[in-house]
């Protein structure tokens, strides 16, 4: 039995057949493969014809079958908008250890069909610190409907130790095509570069506790000078209080904002004799 596929040329250059004609022996099978390369977005509906004749072609075409060939080419299009730093990364700036800062990503499905996204963190490289715990993504994954408004995804930076990241692709967004296969197929992985820095507040207090006014004659005055110096990368504020004995506490200021350390501040105190205690909310005293 001889066979011939007519109409292959009408399919276009995106289609290719392993063979266009041939002979099949008695009680045997023969497989013909038709390949397609998706180059242009759109829908294709074509017809080809399988013609069967005797081997010598004496009787001509004894059987003909029309075969419909259809295919749809579509694009998976996920748009990610985010607040970018100067280098194009997701910028968190500099914050104190144990503080937190949140940035919001905007994800939109601009394709024709529903897709799914899924974020995961990689270990990347940092000078110090564990990258799995300082970042939280909410929601970590969801289905994005086609032609719907953007969806907000929150990325929270909450460091527990000092660390520094500069434009590192530690956040990966997997794009899953729900039309491909059973349960969908991952068709792209988009790296999101992240820049973040976490530091401790660093301060210096001179002189160290206790401050001794020594022996004084009744009715006289003496002044001692207490110098509080910011040696860190962020501003902090301090306050002098007097619950019985004079004490000082220092708190972090300027969450997520990198600032120039202040010049030493002079705090004067007068009295007979006092002990100064230091309580610091963020970081450690130098």
In this structure, the strands spanning 284-285 and 202-206 are parallel
Q: Which fold has domain 78-199?
A: Immunoglobulin-like (2.60.40)
Burial class of residue 2 (count of CB atoms within 10 Å of its CB; 0-12, 13-18, 19+) = middle
Length of the chain, please?
Answer: 286
All CATH 2.60.40.10 domain ranges of the chain, comma separated, are 78-199
Residues 119-147: pLDDT tens digits?
A: 998 865 444 444 457 999 999 999 999 98
Per-residue CA distances from 125 to 57, 83, 122, 128 (Å)? 71, 22, 9, 9
Peptide bond into 139 cis (omega under 30): yes
* pLDDT given at position 211: 79
pLDDT band, residue 57 (cuts 50/70/90): confident
For a pLDDT cut of 70, what percent of the chain falls above it? 80
* pLDDT given at position 238: 73
What DSSP assignment string belongs to 29-96?
-----EEE---SSEEEEEEEEEEEE-TT-SS-EEEEEEEEEEEEE----EEEE--B-TTSSEEEEEEE
- Tell me the whole-structure pTM to 2 decimals: 0.67
For a pLDDT cut of 90, what percent of the chain falls above it? 53
Residues 196-225: pLDDT tens digits?
A: 999 988 888 887 777 788 888 888 988 888
């Amino acid at each position: 039995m001889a066979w011939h596929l007519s109409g292959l040329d009408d399919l276009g250059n995106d289609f290719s057949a392993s063979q266009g004609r041939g002979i099949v022996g008695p009680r045997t099978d023969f497989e013909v493969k038709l390949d397609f390369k998706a180059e242009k977005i759109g829908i294709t509906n074509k017809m080809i014809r399988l013609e069967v004749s005797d081997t010598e072609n004496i009787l001509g075409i004894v059987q003909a079958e029309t075969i419909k060939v259809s295919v749809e080419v579509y694009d998976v299009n996920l748009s990610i908008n985010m607040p970018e730093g100067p280098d194009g990364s997701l910028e968190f700036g500099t914050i104190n250890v144990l503080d937190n800062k949140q940035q919001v990503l905007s994800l939109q499905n601009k394709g024709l069909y529903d897709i799914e996204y899924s974020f995961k963190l990689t270990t990347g490289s940092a000078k110090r610190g564990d990258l799995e715990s300082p970042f939280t993504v909410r929601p970590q994954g969801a289905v994005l409907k086609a032609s719907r408004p953007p969806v907000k995804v929150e990325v929270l930076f909450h460091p527990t130790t000092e660390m520094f990241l500069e434009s590192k692709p530690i956040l990966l967004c997997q794009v899953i095509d729900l039309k491909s296969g059973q349960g969908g197929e991952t068709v792209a992985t988009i790296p999101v570069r992240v820049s973040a820095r976490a530091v401790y507040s660093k301060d210096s207090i001179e002189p160290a506790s206790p401050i001794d006014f020594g022996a004084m004659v009744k009715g006289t005055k003496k002044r001692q000078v207490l110098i509080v110096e910011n040696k860190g990368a962020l501003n902090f504020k301090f306050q002098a209080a007097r619950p019985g004995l004079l004490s000082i506490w220092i708190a972090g200021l300027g969450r997520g904002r990198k600032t120039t350390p202040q010049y030493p501040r002079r705090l004067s105190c007068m009295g007979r004799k006092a002990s100064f205690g230091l309580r610091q909310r963020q970081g450690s005293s130098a």
